[in-house]
A and B are shown apart, each in its own frame.
Chain A
């Protein structure tokens, strides 16, 4: 940003600073406090000392399994979303033409509807006497209704359903700006579609893919409402454990400690994936 002229007074600073203050005050400081409480030993009389007890409490197979489930859930969600989102974004960006806007519109409306209503809608579809079972029974594919709700299957379906637009939009944005002459050139030079995709399209859209990855991966990890409502509360993920501890009496700081541990694992995995995806960013160069 070019300097227009040196500021004559500091009035702009006074005006511009609230955003930053707000962010620090209500985002970073609370986070810091939460992290600190996991390490502080408190008695009714106040802070007594530093302890690693709370953190250590959660470094055991049971809780690591919970964190593991969350990681797996988030990862599966991302993969499924990607597999569905990329073709979709590709289609809208390149093959859409006249109905492109309409397709985007159709995609956005569910995205902008209250998430709980989505859950509610899927109850209707997946219930024993729900829409899906009724259809399958009618066409004779099954004899007795399938139990679809309160299963892991239902959880995954809902997760993908909810997070799909988050993956589609960044990829679409990337594809939209794509310089199609590159694709044309690639074809002219004799590459197959698969080669073109792997070496040209995918690397150059990696920024969008990465954005989509994180927009889905990070929140999926902390998700607890979907497993609770769609899964019958039969499995506990990080979010469930955290809310269980936080909303219980006297166990609040334990909840904070567990959250710190989980976030640490999450960040490590996120960094790993960030690096992994970065490896696909450069167009694969032909060796020799």
Chain B
């Protein structure tokens, strides 16, 4: 197999030439990062927007830590995300267990692709209608349910695809050597699936934590999540406290991206 990237490029590559290509890439990354950097820089600004740069201060970070409602919203988002991740991953594992024991899962799998064909708005509205129909008050529970549905749409396809790629000879060997199907599942199948389980868990967590549309419809307003809190802050103007919050969340996202990265790369070895 040819080495990656080493094909002969003495042909004039790309439409604009190599320099043009680089320029395009650089400007794309600039486009992606300038707003974020601006946001971060102004989180240290002494004066609130629209004033220009005045001086360096950490006061907004202090205010951020003090804000009770913000942390409540943060905790809610965290609870929902963790619950949704846990439930969807567990259900994914269970489903794989069923498949590993020979269950016919294949055709049911298509059920889970529905989440991709439908815009999130539609799902949100449907759930809203459904919940009021069965008289469930909107709150953390309904949020967790909705986010789990989102999560399933990612976990199941990702993990099952990985499961199908697994070398069945390993499980067969394990069984031949005398392990029960249960032992095989826990000691052979599951560890092999671990990287994809973790990456899909991370993905679901982030999607749930950052979610807006589903939360907007299904949270009611007795529950404040981070997205809704930020929305209410954006609606009432601009406050550097949100900048400080962004900095914090960015830091969190970076950590997660790092973890995701390490795991994705290692799983390629399989």
Contacts and interface: CB of A to CB of B under 8 A. Distances in A.
Q: Do any beta carbons of A and B sit within 8 angstroms of each other in the complex? A: yes
Contacts of A87: 14, 21, 24-25
24 contacts: A1-B105, A2-B168, A2-B172, A4-B175, A12-B97, A16-B99, A19-B91, A23-B152, A26-B127, A84-B24, A91-B25, A94-B4, A101-B261, A116-B212, A122-B35, A164-B32, A187-B7, A187-B8, A187-B11, A222-B120, A223-B121, A239-B121, A246-B125, A255-B125
B270 interface: no
A contact patch SS: helix
B126 A33 contact: yes
Interface in B198-224: 206, 209-210, 212-213, 216-217
Interface in A107-159: 107-110, 112-125, 127-131, 134
Interface in B125-167: 125-130, 133, 145-146, 148-149, 152, 156, 164
A6 to B, nearest CB: 7
B116 interface: yes
Interface in A6-44: 6-7, 12-13, 15-20, 22-24, 26-31, 33-34, 37
A214 B123 CA distance: 16
Contacts of B190: none
Contact of A4 (B111, B115, B145, B171): B171
A11 to B, nearest CB: 8
Contacts of B91: 18-19, 22
A282 interface: no
Interface in B1-58: 1-8, 11-15, 21-22, 24-25, 28-29, 31-36, 38-39, 42, 49-50, 52
A31 B118 contact: yes
A270 interface: yes
A242 interface: yes
Interface of B: 1-8, 11-15, 21-22, 24-25, 28-29, 31-36, 38-39, 42, 49-50, 52, 91-92, 94-103, 105-106, 108, 111-112, 114-123, 125-130, 133, 145-146, 148-149, 152, 156, 164, 168, 171-172, 175, 181, 206, 209-210, 212-213, 216-217, 226-227, 230-231, 234, 238, 242, 245-246, 249-250, 253-254, 256-258, 260-261, 265
Nearest to B211: A115
B125 A112 contact: no
Interface of A: 1-7, 12-13, 15-20, 22-24, 26-31, 33-34, 37, 84, 87-88, 91, 93-97, 101, 103-110, 112-125, 127-131, 134, 161, 164, 179-181, 183-184, 187-188, 192-194, 214-215, 218-219, 221-225, 229, 238-239, 242-243, 246, 252, 255-256, 259, 263, 266-267, 270
Q: Chain B: interface secondary structure?
A: helix
A115 B253 CA distance: 12
Contacts of A3: 102
B42 A124 contact: yes
Contacts of A164: 28, 32
A134 B94 contact: no
Contacts of B2: 179-181, 184
A225 B181 contact: no
A130 B41 CA distance: 13
Contact of A124 (B31, B49, B227, B250): B49
Contact of A118 (B35, B226, B261): B35
The 5 closest A-B pairs by CB, nearest first: A16-B98, A222-B119, A121-B35, A222-B121, A30-B130
